[in-house]
């Protein structure tokens, strides 16, 4: 059943990609393995102050990062251990963040971009990557994100069950300031900012 759903998702993924105006943060041919797809967005939530002092306010320009979920689920399909799956996702995200930093540094609006934002239910290990989790305050938006992310969460589990769905964590905003992202992950264009 899982592989059938992933195949269907693979068919519709290009439509989703096009409709959401996503792009790959690929600046070099060798970075084709990036697990993120990105787009510029205006932040619409409550004001947030990050640990490095960066203030994110309504309408600030951020890069929204989307995990390429169908690709990840396809790659993890034959791994039956949730801990092992988590380790692999962590490694893929860590390997992909330099591409996001490079994308921001080379973007024509680099100076306006405050940081990156994502939304996830899987927030274990995010601090080690440099992200900070913040609650989604708006109840309707939180409900919409919960509804959209539950199927992905269930498909990501090696052995989904009714109990695991009941214990499904709330979605959270993940933030990282541009300065922190570049300090931690930028490799060869730090001086261009």
Q: How does pLDDT run across 2-30, given as a tens digit for each residue?
A: 566 666 656 676 666 667 778 888 655 55
Render pLDDT for 28-79 as a digit per residue (tens, 0 to 9): 555 567 888 899 999 999 999 999 999 999 999 999 998 877 777 777 777 7
Q: Give the pLDDT score at 49.
A: 96
- b/e burial code for range 127-137 (CB count within 10 A of at least 16 → b): eeebbbebebe
pLDDT at 190: 47
The Cα–Cα gap between 152 and 5 comes to: 11
Q: Among the ranges 37-51, 78-92, 161-175, which has the highest mean pLDDT value?
A: 37-51
Q: Helix (H, G, I), strand (E, B), or coil: what is residue 180?
A: helix
Per-residue pLDDT, 77: 74
pLDDT digits 0-9 by tens, 113-129:
999 999 988 777 889 99
For 106-116, what is the mean pLDDT?
A: 95
Which pLDDT belongs to residue 90?
87
CA–CA separation, 8 vs 62, rounded Å? Answer: 31
Q: What is the rounded average pLDDT of the residues 79-92? A: 82
Beta strands in 141-185 (DSSP E): 172-177
Backbone angles phi and psi of 40, in degrees to 5: -75, 145
The pLDDT > 70 percentage for the chain reads 80
């Amino acid at each position: 059943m899982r592989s059938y759903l992933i195949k269907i998702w693979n068919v519709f993924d290009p439509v989703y990609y096009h409709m959401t105006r996503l792009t790959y943060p690929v600046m070099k041919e060798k970075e084709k393995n990036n697990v993120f797809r990105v787009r510029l967005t205006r932040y619409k939530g409550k004001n947030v102050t990050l640990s490095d002092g960066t203030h994110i306010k309504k309408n600030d320009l951020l890069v929204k990062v989307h995990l390429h979920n169908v690709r990840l689920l396809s790659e993890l399909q034959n791994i039956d251990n949730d801990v092992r799956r988590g380790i692999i996702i962590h490694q893929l995200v860590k390997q992909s963040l330099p591409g996001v930093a490079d994308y921001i540094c080379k973007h024509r609006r680099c100076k306006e971009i405050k940081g990156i934002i994502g939304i996830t239910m899987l927030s274990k290990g995010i601090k080690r990557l440099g992200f900070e989790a913040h609650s989604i305050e708006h109840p309707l938006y939180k409900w919409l994100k919960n509804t959209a992310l539950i199927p992905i969460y269930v498909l990501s589990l090696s052995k989904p069950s009714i109990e695991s769905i009941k214990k499904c964590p709330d979605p959270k905003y993940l933030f990282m300031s541009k300065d922190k992202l570049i300090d931690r992950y930028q490799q060869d264009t730090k001086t261009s900012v």
